[in-house]
Amino acid sequence: MKSKSGLVAFVAVLLVVAPVLAKPGSPKQESYSAVGTDALLDSFVNVTTQNTRFTPATFTVPVNATVHVRITQKDPMSHTFTLSAQADYVIPSTLSSAELDAYFQNNNLTDVAIPSTVDSVVWANFTAPAQPGQYEFACRIGGHFQSGMFGFMIVSQEAVPPPPPGLPFGVVTGIMVATLVVVLVFAAIYQVRAVRAVKRPR
């Protein structure tokens, strides 16, 4: 009976400890400029438009992140938040508004209109490129880009947060199953031997 009790105790401990090992750690919060990153899924950026400028003019996100740019309007005039899909290219400030529109026409990650209502909020949602580098964004409204309304999104491999601590759930599940199989086999062997011992003539 002592061996049987030991097996039962071992199984009980395994069932209590395994879920704790399998539980993922809390996602690490990171900050890159105005960016808050939730694990590896989403990056949130706060941008303000004021005095015909984007603030901040530079922010960093991880590669392949789902990016959500929250844009708060502080100017009493319309703007756009238009992001180039071309890495490491600086748009010439000499481009006319028509040339700027032509450049962005089939070469943008997002193109969002910002109404002239002060304190209005719009969102630009897109997926960051897989290629690290510098991506320029600008306002396409006539004369705004030329007067300095532009900035850069930095896509960085190094910005990716580390995976949360804890063993992968699949690994722990496999360990649990294998251990339970071994325990059940030993329990069956013990039971057979116990029955034979009872039936053995004295």
pLDDT tens for 123-157 read 999 999 999 999 999 999 999 999 999 999 999 98
Looking at residue 26, its pLDDT comes to: 38
Looking at residue 36, its pLDDT comes to: 46
pLDDT band with cut points at 50, 70 and 90 for residue 22:
very low
pLDDT at position 113 over 90? yes
Strands 42-49 and 35-38: antiparallel
Average confidence score pLDDT of the chain: 79
Looking at residue 165, its pLDDT comes to: 55
Say if residues 122 and 71 touch (Cβ distance below 8 Å). yes
**Measured between alpha carbons, how far is 135 from 90 in angstroms, rounded to an integer?**
8
For residue 104, CA distances in Å to 110, 127, 161, 192 come to: 10, 17, 31, 77
Three-point CA angle 67, 69, 73, nearest 5°: 175
Check whether the bond before 56 is cis (ω within 30° of 0).
Answer: yes
Dihedral of the CA atoms 114, 118, 121, 123 (nearest 10)? 20
**Measured between alpha carbons, how far is 81 from 114 in angstroms, rounded to an integer?**
7
Among residues 58, 47, 51, which one has the least CA distance to residue 81?
47
Looking at residues 34-57, what average pLDDT do you find? Answer: 81
Hey, which residues does 54 pair with through a beta bridge? 49
pLDDT band with cut points at 50, 70 and 90 for residue 44:
very high
Kindly report whether the global pTM for this prediction surpasses the value 0.75. no
Say if residues 146 and 101 touch (Cβ distance below 8 Å). no
Among residues 81, 75, 82, 80, which one has the least CA distance to residue 52?
75
Say if residues 47 and 72 touch (Cβ distance below 8 Å). yes
pLDDT band with cut points at 50, 70 and 90 for residue 10:
low
pLDDT at position 183 over 80? no
Highest mean pLDDT pick, 10-24, 37-51, 59-73, 147-161: 59-73
Looking at residue 43, its pLDDT comes to: 95
Looking at residues 172-196, what average pLDDT do you find? Answer: 67
pLDDT tens for 61-107 read 999 999 999 999 999 999 999 999 999 999 999 999 999 999 999 99
Looking at residue 195, its pLDDT comes to: 60
Among residues 169, 164, 166, which one has the least CA distance to residue 39?
164
